[in-house]
Copies of this chain bind each other. A is one copy, B any other.
Amino acid sequence: MKILEDRIKKDGRVLGEDVLKVDNFLNHQVDPQLMQEMGDEFARLFDGEKIDKVLTVESSGIAPAIFAAAALNVPMVFARKKKSITLSSESYIADVYSFTKQETNHVMIDKRFLHEGERVLIIDDFLANGQAVTGLMEIADAANAEVVGVGIVIEKTFQKGRAMLDEKGVHVESLARIAAFEDGQVVFAD
């Protein structure tokens, strides 16, 4: 998506070898017009699929996911992230390991908001090692819901998340695909 790539070039900050900070338009300060265009683009990319619900994880997934849900005219559900949980019969729960923070969190979705046979689109801000997406897929699986596809704002193709999802046969669409960081600059995949 050209306007997103341009925005990453203009406002993204590369830190170290593999970190891209986009906190001035995506995950701290948020550009609503860009979010709307991204939501429309996700709807276009998954056009033809029947989608009942959009799933994401708080907090950075919420803005892109709510505009995708608006464009698809379906509800959005965001999983809550918790450091510690008490097991409950009321929620689906999955573990999500964060490589950046080196800690395991739990994500949970109330059973009232995900049902057998529902066709869900998972949206997230980043795809790196695929931990958050895998957690949401586990939850969908536990609910006997079907994951129609995964929509990602920024994918780092050099980390293992994409390959893992491809192996599982998941339909993944990323609005920007980053192949590498070179001399502090972003190199996009074709």
Contact = CB atoms under 8 A, between A and B. Distances in A.
Contacts of A109: 28
11 contacts: A24-B112, A28-B78, A28-B110, A29-B76, A29-B110, A30-B69, A30-B76, A30-B78, A32-B67, A32-B73, A66-B67
DSSP class of A's interface residues: helix, strand, loop or mixed?
Answer: mixed
Contacts of A28: 77-78, 80, 109-110, 113
Interface of A: 23-25, 28-33, 35-36, 58-59, 62-63, 66-67, 69-70, 73-78, 80, 109-110, 112-113
Contacts of A67: 32, 66
Contact of A77 (B30, B66, B80): B30
A92 to B, nearest CB: 12
Contacts of A62: 30, 59, 62-63, 66
Contacts of A63: 62, 66, 76
A94 to B, nearest CB: 16
